[in-house]
């Protein structure tokens, strides 16, 4: 790959069948937009330049392209075809040698390996233009690759194909390698294909086709790679294939996916061998999951780091959290950003934790909210404990020392500290710091009104009978 | 379709393979029973009458048929075949012209379009009887349509088919159009087919077949339409197809379904373009979802109205609620009937809201229960807030004025009002109305017993050592 | 099946493609390991002995085999092949008549029926060795069964197959019946196949093949049965098939599975007719579900007993609980071990119950934790009620008498009793027993600081303007 390589990504005018207010190329697929995927695929073959030809400038394609480190040129659609062509010519005019790879942005399954094979073929054959082709079972609607008796390659657009040509199973995939400086790299003769004025890769070479030069077709052995996204159904379909790829690769690396058909795991995620993922799980972003960690049914995990031997029970939702080894969480736990669960700690059902450092061996088993807290080793947080971290103006911190015991149903009104080894009585509202090893109580005294409930029942009963219902 | 049209829906004696205590035809498929679906399909071609032939009268089929606005006649099964035939004759005896369409109630995929095509064919061909047929790959168990060299159509019941006939791929679909008043509309000659005495559509014409008249077969181009539900596996299978249809139609209209294979959306639901539905979502009834609304993984939504730009995070369950635009809810939120979340409000995890008007910009982020409440603009409901709306006798109202701040862990004992701009201290039990702009406190005072916790630990430790464990 | 039968299960040296720290044969599939499944399948044909040939001794295969009541012999892998052979010889040396069935442990779909058919065939044909074979569409990588013109059967290992033999679709399934005492049951001539030294079933007979004797091949009509698990993808694939079998059988018995593709139900579970299972449900272990019970979307149920007409709403998680008839639970309920919900009781959202007997008609609708409790008939547990069952040392009991009413937001500090018909005021911390029919109150008194909130707001506003933010 030492020859100079420029990739031009065609990302203009797509998505009329999406019925969407946003560009087709900006729709996400497993956490990345189609455009982002095309740029990453291009980057996988280490080109000198990546140029995205999008719609009008300024537009979100421009932002996305530049955000991903690519160049942008405005194609501008049918009405501005002349300026679009000028932009392409300007962008490429300085190129004198090497190859131009033209890549449509709506083929999210295309892999760098496949592009590399195309380029290798193109260079070995000393071709001026190499078309990627594939043999597929239903070639309807696609341009065909016609191989003449002398081996000459001709692209027949679908609309121009005669009955015999329509039976050709080899289609062209709108992916092309063009030798820069060759007879087919003729910027001056670039034209718009058809009346639609769509920028697709074909625009770049169809007119020059009849100008001579050596044309080759590289038939990819992975026809799945070239699936095109025209509709939202295509998007879902390619998403499913992409997911299959990810899941097969995870299984090959030693991960147990109980139900690969319902495991949605982004490719950025990294799961260690013997991690187990139950059905109906969604794992997003650059999540890391350690050996033997178990993810239960219905979990939704976004950008988390999960240590070895962690058990995440069903229906746990977490984002941007860190779980050290041997932590147990869930079911129905909710971990939010800047949560760290230290090793061996436990967070149970209906517990929300946010921006909290939760000490080794600490436990919060039930119905609690810990926000902006520091919780020491082996602390016991009783059911229904709430850190009152927000006073209407700012978020305040709660500190709980190691070995402390927070009785159930307590409120800790931050800023407040509970000392090491202290004990907060159940049902207390703690507004002042608690000394280490002390007992703190803050609740009403209990008193009783004998027979009150019976008297009330009887009165209600009487009133019901008399038609009134005032208790 | 100006000719008079009567639809007879055959819904008797089905379901022996269902192993169910309720009629096969009453089993639901994506929110509607098979019978209801048949009646709605019939209604789609605007007949003058829809007659359901069910089992014994009174029975639930009768109720369901009349509930859906159809007529009902009792077929009554094998033992009452004579009375069943009499009922059919009586129901149709007044009909003098037009067409009778006979439709089995166990073909939930059949569409009005397909019936309309059948009728058009039937009328154009001036047919006396037109059979709907389909070419399928596995015709076992079905009656075959035999086309003679002269074009004459003959139905061969599966049991009477010879080896050559068994290879015919064209089957009859138990859907028939009969010209009323024609030679094949001979009510007097109606008979029960076979020994089972089952009422299926064939009962109406098989005996008259040999009586002459013009018979045609209309081969539907959509053989999927005629899939019959005999078993619960069939029910699941047709449910999956029905769901595919709904989902494809949603995607065509601009909705993003991340995983159409796990999206269960009733056909009554209406989703706007650029709404996004994550995997593992169930949406039931006449739910409406606005543009750009996002429904997270695992949500279950029943008869709700969801505005534009709403974000529903994972595992949120709601029924009969209204969410105005830009609301954010979940994860793990639960919205019940008569809940209105005003625009820009937020409901977080482990929060249940029932019969509450929740003001614009109001927030209830954590572990709360709001029932029978009115909550003003920009109110902040602290974590663990509970409206004590039930006193054992009746439900009472809680009113919270705009801009109020309810401290975490508070109970609001209804009926009670918190004035505009008031502040309830964390951990308070509010039993009396709070004045606007006031601070209300209702909690115990905090006191401390120094070293109590250490002394207790040491005592427990000693007792453990001495074998006793009384703390 | 009166002839003596010994089953030898080959479970050594597998799993190199699993990338796992634990044996392939110990990986679970719908709640049972591959080895356990092989042993249970073997037990289904009532052999006199079941011998598991695993890896080195002691190892987890040994433990699992003995735990399941089988014998264990150590095969020991390539380097210890001699001792492995010796172990096999020793284990079988006492056998003098009957049949030896050799069964690989990595065929989890194999059914006793199929083994029984193999044995019947083997015995009827008076065969010395009968190979199970199957015709499959993609025989690559498998040993082929070559049938000579004289009917003689020869096994051609994949590696030794010539071009013509590679086209044979009939493969051997590594399942063999050998007549004990026959010419092919020659323990002395046992050898290791190939260079890998793997113990697979073929090791037992390949060397003796050329020694004569009557060899037959039984072609199973259920080729799915012999699917082999080599990779984790195979594990997922066979898991899906196993699940299909279970689900089809459930539907045939009258259970409604709305979406069989997302229903994960262990085969030990027992569901009554007209039970309804929504999508995305996981049911594990020996769960029993009664007639007309409804299991909502996203539920996870482990070893529970659920009565008739119970309604389990979405996202309910329960293990080792008993629900009597007409109970309603969920959504978002969590039931833990030793929970009994008596008939007609109700447990609502964000409620956790553990080790509690919850009386007939009792209700706990919202955000509560009941642990180690006895709750009487028709008790009403208000929202946010918490039993403080743990004091840092031990779990204590809470008893609530019939007809009692626990106001919302109460803590019950165990050990404590609330008498029959008593009423606990909302927001109380109950530390002492409450008398029957009494009212118990234990909360702070409410007082108000007029204008405090407004003054505070104004101060904050001023400070914000002056750049300071201290409230």
* Of B423 and B23, more confident: B423
| pLDDT tens-digit series, residues C323-367 | 999 999 999 999 999 999 999 999 999 999 999 999 999 999 999
Residues 6+ apart with CB under 8 A from C133: C145, C170, C171, C172, C173, C217, C218, C219, C220
Q: Lowest mean pLDDT: which of A128-137, A293-302, C265-274? A: A128-137
Q: What is the mean pLDDT of residues A402-419?
A: 96
Asked if pLDDT for residue A453 goes beyond 70, the answer is yes
**Contact yes or no for B444 and C447 at CB 8 A:** no
Identify the DSSP state of C390: B
Tell me the three state secondary structure of residue C199.
coil
Structure tokens given for B245: 């249809």
Sign of torsion, CA B163 B164 B168 B172?
negative
Sign of torsion, CA C66 C72 C77 C79?
positive
Asked if pLDDT for residue C14 goes beyond 80, the answer is no
pLDDT category of residue B14 using cuts at 50, 70 and 90: low
Q: Give the closest residue to B363 by CA, choosing from B350, B336, B382, B349.
A: B382
Query: What is the distance between the alpha carbons of residues C334 and C351, in angstroms, rounded to a whole number?
Result: 6
Which residues in chain A touch residue B280, judged by CB atoms under 8 angstroms apart? Answer: 262, 280, 282, 298
Query: CB count, 10 Å around CB of A286?
Result: 14
Query: What is the distance between the alpha carbons of residues A319 and A266, in angstroms, rounded to a whole number?
Result: 14
Q: Give the helix/strand (H/E) hosting A66.
A: helix A60-67
pLDDT category of residue A211 using cuts at 50, 70 and 90: low
Structure tokens given for C116: 């029984």
φ, ψ of residue A90 in degrees (nearest 5) = -65, -45
**Contact yes or no for C443 and A447 at CB 8 A:** no
Residues 6+ apart with CB under 8 A from B93: B187
| pLDDT tens-digit series, residues A3-50 | 899 999 988 766 678 888 888 899 999 999 999 999 999 999 999 999
Asked if pLDDT for residue A203 goes beyond 80, the answer is no
Residues 6+ apart with CB under 8 A from B29: B37, B108, B235, B238, B239, B242
pLDDT for C189 = 58
**Is A101 in contact with A81 (CB distance < 8 Å)?**
no
Mutation target vs B (from C383, C385, C456; most B CBs, 10 A cutoff): C383
* Of B271 and A56, more confident: B271
H helix and E strand count, chain C: 8, 42
* Of C414 and C12, more confident: C414
**Contact yes or no for B334 and C349 at CB 8 A:** yes
Which residues in chain A touch residue C470, judged by CB atoms under 8 angstroms apart? Answer: none
pLDDT for C142 = 81
Q: What is the mean pLDDT of residues C212-222?
A: 85
Query: What is the distance between the alpha carbons of residues C468 and C183, in angstroms, rounded to a whole number?
Result: 98
pLDDT for B193 = 44
* % residues pLDDT > 90 (chain C): 61
Q: What is the mean pLDDT of residues B411-437?
A: 95
List % helix, strand, coil for chain C (3-state, nearest 5): 25, 30, 45
Q: Nearest 10 degrees: CA dihedral of A324, A326, A331, A333?
A: -20
Looking at the predicted complex, does its ipTM rise above 0.85? yes
User: Rounded mean pLDDT of chain A?
Assistant: 88
* b/e C363-377 (16+ beta carbons within 10 angstroms → b): bbbbbbbbbbbbbbb
Asked if pLDDT for residue A94 goes beyond 90, the answer is no
For chain B, say whether A372 makes contact (Cβ under 8 Å): no
pLDDT for C194 = 38
Query: What is the distance between the alpha carbons of residues B292 and C133, in angstroms, rounded to a whole number?
Result: 56
For chain A, say whether B259 makes contact (Cβ under 8 Å): yes
* Of B17 and B445, more confident: B445
Query: CB count, 10 Å around CB of C268?
Result: 16
φ, ψ of residue B170 in degrees (nearest 5) = -90, 115
pLDDT category of residue B252 using cuts at 50, 70 and 90: very high
* Of A138 and B385, more confident: B385
Q: Lowest mean pLDDT: which of A295-304, B294-303, C209-218? A: C209-218
User: Rounded mean pLDDT of chain B?
Assistant: 88
Q: Which residues pair with C390 in a beta bridge?
A: C395
For chain B, say whether A426 makes contact (Cβ under 8 Å): no
**Is A408 in contact with C370 (CB distance < 8 Å)?**
no
**Is B66 in contact with B57 (CB distance < 8 Å)?**
no
Beta strand B129-135 with B305-306 is: unpaired
* Of C64 and A202, more confident: C64
Asked if pLDDT for residue C41 goes beyond 80, the answer is yes
pTM: 0.93
Measured in whole angstroms, the distance separating CA A299 from the mean position of its chain's CA atoms is 16
Identify the DSSP state of B408: T
pLDDT for A471 = 44
Q: How deeply is A160 buried, as exposed, middle or buried, from its count of CB atoms within 10 A (0-12, 13-18, 19+)?
A: exposed
Query: What is the distance between the alpha carbons of residues A413 and A430, in angstroms, rounded to a whole number?
Result: 6
Asked if pLDDT for residue A189 goes beyond 70, the answer is no
pLDDT category of residue A338 using cuts at 50, 70 and 90: very high
Asked if pLDDT for residue C249 goes beyond 80, the answer is yes
CB interface of A with B, residues 20-39, below 8 Å = 20-22, 27
For chain A, say whether B308 makes contact (Cβ under 8 Å): no
Q: Lowest mean pLDDT: which of B242-246, B273-277, C66-70? A: C66-70
pLDDT for B206 = 46
* % residues pLDDT > 90 (chain B): 62
pLDDT category of residue B358 using cuts at 50, 70 and 90: very high
Query: What is the distance between the alpha carbons of residues C80 and C86, in angstroms, rounded to a whole number?
Result: 10
pLDDT category of residue A59 using cuts at 50, 70 and 90: confident
pLDDT for C192 = 43
pLDDT category of residue C212 using cuts at 50, 70 and 90: low
Tell me the three state secondary structure of residue C396.
coil
pLDDT for A435 = 95
Q: What is the mean pLDDT of residues A145-155?
A: 81
Q: Give the closest residue to B275 by CA, choosing from B345, B325, B349, B212.
A: B325
What subunits touch chain C, counting only 3 or more CB pairs under 8 A? A, B
pLDDT for C287 = 98
Q: What is the mean pLDDT of residues B8-34?
A: 86
Q: Give the helix/strand (H/E) hosting B317.
A: strand B317-319
pLDDT category of residue C380 using cuts at 50, 70 and 90: very high
Query: What is the distance between the alpha carbons of residues B241 and B6, in angstroms, rounded to a whole number?
Result: 28
User: Rounded mean pLDDT of chain C?
Assistant: 88
Which residues in chain B touch residue C457, judged by CB atoms under 8 angstroms apart? Answer: 421
Q: What is the mean pLDDT of residues C128-147?
A: 86
pLDDT category of residue A176 using cuts at 50, 70 and 90: confident
pLDDT for A196 = 41
For chain A, say whether C275 makes contact (Cβ under 8 Å): no
Asked if pLDDT for residue A76 goes beyond 70, the answer is no
φ, ψ of residue B271 in degrees (nearest 5) = -115, 135
For chain A, say whether B454 makes contact (Cβ under 8 Å): yes
Asked if pLDDT for residue C391 goes beyond 90, the answer is no
Asked if pLDDT for residue B212 goes beyond 70, the answer is no
Q: Is the peptide bond before A415 cis (omega within 30 degrees of 0)?
A: yes
Tell me the three state secondary structure of residue C334.
strand
Query: What is the distance between the alpha carbons of residues C329 and C310, in angstroms, rounded to a whole number?
Result: 8
pLDDT for C268 = 94
Q: What is the mean pLDDT of residues B130-155?
A: 84
φ, ψ of residue C335 in degrees (nearest 5) = -115, 130
Q: Is B23 a catalytic residue?
A: no
Query: What is the distance between the alpha carbons of residues C181 and C172, in angstroms, rounded to a whole number?
Result: 23
Q: Lowest mean pLDDT: which of A256-265, A324-333, B155-164? A: B155-164
Q: How deeply is A185 buried, as exposed, middle or buried, from its count of CB atoms within 10 A (0-12, 13-18, 19+)?
A: buried
**Contact yes or no for B273 and A460 at CB 8 A:** no
Mutation target vs B (from A17, A18, A331, A334; most B CBs, 10 A cutoff): A334
Query: What is the distance between the alpha carbons of residues C406 and C410, in angstroms, rounded to a whole number?
Result: 7
Locate the chain A residue with the closest alpha carbon to C442: A446
Residues 6+ apart with CB under 8 A from B47: B5, B6, B7, B101
**Is B323 in contact with B305 (CB distance < 8 Å)?**
yes
pLDDT for B259 = 96
């Amino acid at each position: 790959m030492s020859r100079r390589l420029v990739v031009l990504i065609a990302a203009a005018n797509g998505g009329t069948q999406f019925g969407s207010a946003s560009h087709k190329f900006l729709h996400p697929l497993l956490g990345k937009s189609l455009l982002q995927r095309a740029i990453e695929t291009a980057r996988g073959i280490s080109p000198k330049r990546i140029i995205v030809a999008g719609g009008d400038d300024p537009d979100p394609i421009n932002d996305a392209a530049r955000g991903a480190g690519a160049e942008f040129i405005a194609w501008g659609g049918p009405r501005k075809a002349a300026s679009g062509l000028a932009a392409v010519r300007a962008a490429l005019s300085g190129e004198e040698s090497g190859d131009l790879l033209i890549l449509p942005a709506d083929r999210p399954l295309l892999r760098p390996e496949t592009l590399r094979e195309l380029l290798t073929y193109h260079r070995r054959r000393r071709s001026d233009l190499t078309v990627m082709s594939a043999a597929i079972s239903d070639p309807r609607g696609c341009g065909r690759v016609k191989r003449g008796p002398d081996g000459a390659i001709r692209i027949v657009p679908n609309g121009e194909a005669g009955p015999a040509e329509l039976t050709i199973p080899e289609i062209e995939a709108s992916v092309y390698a063009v030798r820069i400086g060759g007879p087919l790299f003729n910027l001056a003769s670039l034209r718009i294909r058809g009346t639609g004025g769509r920028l697709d890769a074909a625009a770049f070479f169809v007119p020059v086709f009849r100008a001579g030069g050596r044309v080759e077709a590289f038939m990819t052995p992975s026809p799945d790679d070239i699936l095109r996204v025209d509709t939202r159904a295509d998007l879902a379909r390619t998403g499913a294939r992409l997911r299959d790829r990810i899941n097969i690769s995870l299984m090959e690396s030693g991960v147990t996916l109980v139900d690969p058909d319902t495991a949605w795991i982004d490719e950025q995620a990294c799961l260690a061998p013997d991690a187990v993922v139950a059905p109906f799980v969604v794992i997003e972003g650059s999540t890391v999951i350690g050996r033997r960690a178990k993810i239960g049914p219905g979990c939704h995990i976004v950008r988390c780091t999960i240590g070895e031997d962690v058990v995440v029970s069903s229906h746990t939702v977490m984002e941007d959290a860190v779980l050290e080894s041997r932590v147990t969480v869930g079911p129905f736990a909710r971990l939010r950003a800047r949560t760290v669960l230290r090793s061996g700690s436990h967070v149970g059902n209906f517990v929300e934790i946010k921006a909290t450092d939760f000490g080794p061996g600490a436990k919060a088993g039930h119905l609690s909210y810990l926000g902006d807290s520091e919780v020491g080793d082996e602390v016991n947080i009783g059911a229904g404990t709430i850190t009152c971290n927000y006073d209407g103006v700012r978020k305040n911190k709660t500190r709980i020392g190691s070995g402390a015991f927070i009785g159930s149903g307590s409120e800790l009104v931050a800023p407040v500290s509970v000392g090491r080894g202290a004990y907060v009585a159940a049902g207390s509202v703690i507004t002042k710091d608690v000394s280490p090893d002390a007992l703190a109580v803050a609740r009403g005294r209990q008193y009783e009104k004998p027979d009150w409930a019976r008297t009330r029942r009887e009165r209600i009963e009487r009133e019901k009978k008399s038609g009134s219902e005032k208790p």
